[in-house]
A and B are shown apart, each in its own frame.
Chain A
Amino acid sequence: MDWLNSILQGVLVGGLYAMFAAGLSLIFGVMRLVNIAHGDLVVMAAYLALVVTQALGMGPLASLLIIAPLMAVIGYGLQRWLLNRTLGDDLLPPLLVTFGLSVIIQNGLLEIFSPDSRKLQAGAIETATIPITPDLSIGVLPLVQFLVAVAMIGALQALFYRTAWGRAFRATSDDQSTVQLVGVDNRHVFGLAMGLSLAVISVAGVFLAVRSNFDPSMGPARLIFGFEAVIIGGLGNLWGTLAGGVVLGVAQAIGAKIDPGWQLLAGHLAFLIVLAVRPEGFFPKVQA
């Protein structure tokens, strides 16, 4: 029962990893951009939530009404005025510019908020549980986090395949020159994609801040978890990121159960094993 409990926790944490991954997958899908600062932006969203909840006295989840649009605007601006200039045939500029961004955000947070770890208080929901059997129970907050992840990926999927925005995203991903011939400004679409990505990870950032302590140095590990979930799930598949997140979460939970020092290692090993035996991931992009 102990094991079942651990695995269940792992599945639920997987929802958080899926949120990191969905944001990463989205911008890679639309503009082949890998944002090294992705994890640091998650942590930045967590700090923004800290500021907003303290200043306005609202709950962490309610603060998303401010944080998500704010992060979306930041993302749009970042893409249009900085990252669009780096896109081209050469791989190096976008990688190095986002790497520089990562260093700036991390040290900026350090400068403003100090290296001390923080946590957001969500009230009674944090400790509430739903008993399943006498030995097994599910925390309400982890469950909410997982359900939000599922809902968010479902919504992104619908956006991509059912709306005009989604058509513009996919068409721009196919051919950013021809898309201009149908009146789409590819630079604007890239901005929208980054805005959307940061809105998604702002939700992840707030859950991260409620579930555990956070500090300015946590970003790179969140980037890596998101990346691992993307590769395990299969490139270019949004539901795949959920599967990848769950696999990663469960692997970490099993590792931690064996030995606390093995938690992260087990997750990385799961990733490396998938890379070795099934490099295209579990659910590679299908030509539907």
Chain B
Amino acid sequence: MRDLLTVSRLDAFYGDFQALFDVSLRIGDGEVVAIVGSNGAGKSTLLKSIAGQIATRRDAISFDGEAIGGERANLLLKRGISLVPEGRRLFPSLSVEENLQIGGEHGRKGPWTLARVYDLFPVLAERRNQRSTSLSGGQQQMVAIGRALMSNPRLLLCDEISLGLAPIIVREIYARLPQITGDGMSLVIVEQDIVQALAASGRVYCLQEGRVTLEGDSQSVSREMLAAAYFGV
């Protein structure tokens, strides 16, 4: 499989605090990769670095063969990198439909349209004119995923989409992932819920205290190896 994204020897900082140390990983074209790790392991930092929300070295990240580290998020979106941010971050003064529309206005052309997002999450069609803040947490997450899909990304980064949601809602959202990746889109799932993440992905990376501690095949990685990589025991 051809690499779509490679991260090599990435360090990331918040001011003086170093959050990532020498992180390297690769995401293949059309691949679904899970990134797991405990709270504070650096998962969100990694996604923010890839999506352009944290400054990085130019050659630390390359996408489709081009060095893109540190490029602005709005330009990366046009290249095809889209992030579903932690906590959803919908625009409260925009309606559900407007949140989706703005997602599609500056991205790439492709199969994802309003109609297809409503097809994927029919409940959003019923609530298209409501304010996004009036929706339930699960529905808000659907809007956030739909907003990211509207830009027709080649690489979709999902940060903790199960956070704060009831298990039944989480299962419902995860059940839709195959429909999303069906066209060959690459997907990165960052999760604290390991079982869910392993079931949905082909490969897995584990982060601990800002370092990659495990890389493996999602189906064959053993519980013991994962526990060791996750907790460092």
* Residues of chain A having any CB pair with chain B under 8 Å: 164, 167-168, 170-171, 173-175, 177-185, 287
Contact = CB atoms under 8 A, between A and B. Distances in A.
B110 interface: no
Given A174-B93, A178-B85, A183-B78, A167 B73 contact: no
B55 interface: no
Nearest to B87: A178
12 contacts: A167-B105, A170-B93, A171-B91, A178-B89, A179-B102, A180-B73, A181-B73, A182-B106, A182-B147, A183-B77, A184-B74, A185-B72
Query: What size tier do the contact residues of chain B reach?
Result: 20 to 34
Contacts of B73: 180-181
B96 interface: no
Given A180-B52, A182-B77, A287 B105 contact: no
A182 B53 contact: no
A116 B34 CA distance: 72
B218 interface: no
Given A164-B101, A185-B72, A180 B53 contact: yes
Contact of A182 (B52, B72, B93, B151): B151
A167 to B, nearest CB: 5
Is the contact region of chain B dominated by helix, strand, or loop, or is it mixed?
A: mixed
Nearest first, the 4 closest Cβ-Cβ pairs linking A and B are A183-B106, A183-B77, A180-B73, A178-B89
A171 B93 CA distance: 7
A175 B102 CA distance: 13
Given A167-B98, A177-B53, A182-B103, 14 more contacts: A167-B105, A168-B105, A173-B93, A174-B93, A175-B89, A175-B91, A178-B89, A181-B73, A181-B83, A182-B77, A183-B78, A184-B106, A185-B72, A185-B74
Interface in B70-96: 72-74, 77-78, 82-83, 85, 89, 91-94
Nearest to B103: A182
B51 interface: yes
A174 B72 CA distance: 19
Contacts of B72: 180, 185
Contacts of B77: 180-183
A174 B89 CA distance: 10
A104 to B, nearest CB: 31
A114 B52 CA distance: 51
Contacts of A174: 91-94
B131 interface: yes
B102 A184 contact: yes
B138 interface: no
Nearest to A170: B93
Contacts of A179: 91, 102
A106 B168 CA distance: 64
A276 B82 CA distance: 48
Contacts of A287: 93, 131
B67 to A, nearest CB: 20
B210 interface: no
Contact of A178 (B78, B91, B93, B98): B91
A175 B98 CA distance: 15
A53 to B, nearest CB: 39
A170 B95 CA distance: 11
A181 B105 CA distance: 12
